[in-house]
Structure 1
């Protein structure tokens, strides 16, 4: 009996300790589930059941239960009835996780858009695509590449699109998706952030070698030496923990913070600029906050990505979500259709020129695709690179916008190619290498 009581006591203590250390994680699970559900239902117009069965079928997130309310355009999630979190959708700025400070914030200000219907085909318009066959493309080989990409349902690809010589030469979607379905790019949104800085630089309104903290804290601190260039290259030396499987800097920012621009801004300096390369979503949202400071009003800040980028490219589906404080969450929450993501890639393939109008300087494409010190050739300025040859059969000049679960916009200048792959499951470097190799093999 004594042994039984002792064992029972140990089990009881174990349960208490397990609950103590893991209960806060429920906030992250229900936070992710409610936010992702609200965004998918009200931005992409997806079926909540489909989102639950597919998007939420991942470790821990599959423990959540979600309810959608059409009345107030919200989604509420719990984990076995515990830790309810609610996300509310607002037209123009997406879905935002609510918290105790929700009632303090004003969501009346939304971006102004200028969406023009025109007679042009993709990519310079939205009046269909050119269907002329290119003589240097082996469409049979291209079909094999597409068939292989979609062969295994477990790989959870959602769409694949290939553009060559500014023309779509291949495009496919799984059931439930089409050329009109916006898809979350996750960290591909970081590359949009870099582009916005490139636009301001081209307009002469910003110097990427400027020091955004110099006036804030004086010249005697290491932080004052951090430049926008250091931030764009993820080498500021500011502390950051990008771990999605525990309570960390990035999970606190995305699922608990009202103002996500402060998450890294308030962190300590652990190394001088350029001495450490550390991938950081906090850095991107810090840059979003600095971007906001370049404008006199909140309205101008909200309008800028649309006025200067999306609407110029005819990316009519593009949408950037904000945090509670009205800052764009440029680390993670950018939406667009597969075709519109392809337009973004084409802007870089054409080095900032869009049908005769220059969006950013030609040198900006070179800047973002130049390897950053200590990244082992994998990172430029908010773009990923192939400089070290992780895709051994593909040009080392390839660079890409990358996002969680295998979202990719590959830019391959040597082949005049943009490849967009959207999915719900991360791929290995070997798998991406095979996909790209097979696509390139179809071009003579």
Structure 2
């Protein structure tokens, strides 16, 4: 065979290889996209009580070309992409929606008989501000809900402002009300922080001790402390990238057990040497929490009995993965008022109605800056607004698409903003600065 023909053949082999690789990659990406749509639509329809039409119009903007089908008898949503790839999520009362990844609907239904022991809502008291303050807050809320550019929607859905534990301002978008559970995305990480805090108070976990993970005891990961996981400076090699098939997208939308998947990643740095935002570490924390209980039912009931019911967060729903572990990085729904109660708990140093739910000093620990985070992060809470001229004791839960629970002890203030804001269309710093300026 002549040299030109050999070169041509090699080139053809290379082209075929690239094509096959790309087809395989985009097929995997399509499966994750369909899973994202199925999970989102299921939760928004069955947990939030919204219409599929509104969900497709507002929430599924990243993958708008899929089609979704709701089966209310089976309580499922199926998303189909290009007529080739389909994924289904199943709704279970009290547990929200879970993707049917390697686990069938019948098995999920048998998995638990969790009964959510809700004591019902505890209404937050209302208060009226002096006229000038009330008018200033109303003006800021007008701005927060205004849609100025149809090509850059803001979609603010709920705002609640608490001052001294009382609601002083509150507003909702059409179709949303004070009882509508809304997705907090990564604000769920802060709830995972609270679950860890309760177990620390119980004496079951120690922050400064090595993370109790048997799989790490024979390699250098045994040096990773619980504190490192809470602060995301564990040094684990996790890829937090949502624009491709990555560790993060696989963990949330493909893998049946998020925590066990994340804890398999090797170390790329010594604990404490570098900060890297990682949803994987939050799900490792949930795996640690799960291992403190003798049964799955006890674990699933834990946040309801020890946190949500204490605060009267009757709308709170944490959603588990197919293995039954809460997706502590990303999947919790609650109304704006219930998210505000969660913030108020930290404002009160973990005390509620005379009971110390979190350890004394846990709020201060959770708000303490993590070394090497460039002043951005604490322990499953953010602190970056401090660098923008806001109070030095401020900290906040932060979630995708503009979810925030801002906690400012020096001003006795909690501010909740929930929405579906893609592409950073909402000026969150301006919003919070204006509200802080009122008090």
TM-score normalised according to structure 2 size: 0.90
- Cα deviation, 1:287-309, whole Å, max 9, x if unaligned, reads 10110111122121111101110
Is the CA contact 1:107–1:326 (under 8 Å) kept in the aligned structure 2?
no
Q: Structure 1 residue 28 and structure 2 residue 32: aligned?
A: yes
Question: What's the CA shift for 1:354?
Answer: 0.7
Unaligned ranges ≥5, structure 2: 1-11
Is the CA contact 1:239–1:264 (under 8 Å) kept in the aligned structure 2?
no
What's the counterpart of residue 6 of structure 1?
none
Of the structure 1 ranges 153-162 and 306-315, higher mean CA displacement relative to structure 2 is found in 153-162
What's the counterpart of residue 432 of structure 2?
436
Question: What secondary structure does 2:417 align onto?
Answer: strand
Is the CA contact 1:371–1:387 (under 8 Å) kept in the aligned structure 2?
no
What's the counterpart of residue 302 of structure 1?
300
Question: What secondary structure does 1:107 align onto?
Answer: helix
Question: What's the CA shift for 1:116?
Answer: 2.6
Q: Is the alpha carbon distance of 1:132 and 1:291 closer, same or farther for their aligned partners in structure 2, counting shifts above 3 Å? A: closer
What's the counterpart of residue 333 of structure 1?
331
Please give the alpha-carbon distance, in whole angstroms, between the structure 2 residues aligned to 1:430 and 1:81.
Answer: 34
What's the counterpart of residue 52 of structure 1?
56
Question: What's the CA shift for 1:155?
Answer: 1.2
How big is the alpha-carbon RMSD for the aligned residues of Structure 1 and Structure 2?
2.3
Is the CA contact 1:145–1:435 (under 8 Å) kept in the aligned structure 2?
yes
Please give the alpha-carbon distance, in whole angstroms, between the structure 2 residues aligned to 1:441 and 1:169.
Answer: 14
What's the counterpart of residue 122 of structure 1?
none
Of the structure 1 ranges 132-141 and 341-350, higher mean CA displacement relative to structure 2 is found in 132-141
Is the CA contact 1:387–1:397 (under 8 Å) kept in the aligned structure 2?
no
What's the counterpart of residue 248 of structure 1?
246
TM alignment of 1:322-361, pairs within 5 A = 322-361=320-359
- Cα deviation, 1:67-123, whole Å, max 9, x if unaligned, reads 1111100011111212111111111211111133436844331433332358xxxxx
Q: Is the alpha carbon distance of 1:192 and 1:163 closer, same or farther for their aligned partners in structure 2, counting shifts above 3 Å? A: same
From 362, 365, 372, the counterpart of 2:363: 365
Is the CA contact 1:353–1:360 (under 8 Å) kept in the aligned structure 2?
yes
What's the counterpart of residue 227 of structure 1?
225
Please give the alpha-carbon distance, in whole angstroms, between the structure 1 residues aligned to 2:166 and 2:105.
Answer: 47
Of the structure 1 ranges 32-41 and 12-21, higher mean CA displacement relative to structure 2 is found in 12-21
Please give the alpha-carbon distance, in whole angstroms, between the structure 2 residues aligned to 1:417 and 1:410.
Answer: 8
Unaligned ranges ≥5, structure 1: 1-8, 119-124
Question: What's the CA shift for 1:356?
Answer: 1.4
Q: Is the alpha carbon distance of 1:24 and 1:216 closer, same or farther for their aligned partners in structure 2, counting shifts above 3 Å? A: closer
What's the counterpart of residue 425 of structure 1?
421
Is the CA contact 1:110–1:302 (under 8 Å) kept in the aligned structure 2?
no
Question: What's the CA shift for 1:278?
Answer: 1.1
Please give the alpha-carbon distance, in whole angstroms, between the structure 2 residues aligned to 1:131 and 1:288.
Answer: 35
From 129, 142, 151, the counterpart of 2:146: 151
TM alignment of 1:120-269, pairs within 5 A = 125-126=122-123, 130-135=125-130, 138-152=133-147, 154-213=153-212, 215-218=214-217, 221-269=219-267
Please give the alpha-carbon distance, in whole angstroms, between the structure 1 residues aligned to 2:138 and 2:101.
Answer: 48
Question: What's the CA shift for 1:240?
Answer: 0.2
- Cα deviation, 1:402-427, whole Å, max 9, x if unaligned, reads 00100000001121111100011157
Question: What's the CA shift for 1:21?
Answer: 3.5
- Cα deviation, 1:226-268, whole Å, max 9, x if unaligned, reads 1111111111111100001111001111111111111221111
What's the counterpart of residue 80 of structure 1?
82
Please give the alpha-carbon distance, in whole angstroms, between the structure 2 residues aligned to 1:185 and 1:117.
Answer: 21
Question: What secondary structure does 1:374 align onto?
Answer: coil
Q: Is the alpha carbon distance of 1:53 and 1:214 closer, same or farther for their aligned partners in structure 2, counting shifts above 3 Å? A: closer
Q: Is the alpha carbon distance of 1:429 and 1:397 closer, same or farther for their aligned partners in structure 2, counting shifts above 3 Å? A: farther
After the TM superposition, which parts of structure 1 deviate over 6 Å for at least 4 consecutive aligned residues?
12-17
Q: Structure 1 residue 411 and structure 2 residue 407: aligned?
A: yes
Please give the alpha-carbon distance, in whole angstroms, between the structure 2 residues aligned to 1:204 and 1:137.
Answer: 48
Residue-pair matches, total: 421
TM-score normalised according to structure 1 size: 0.89
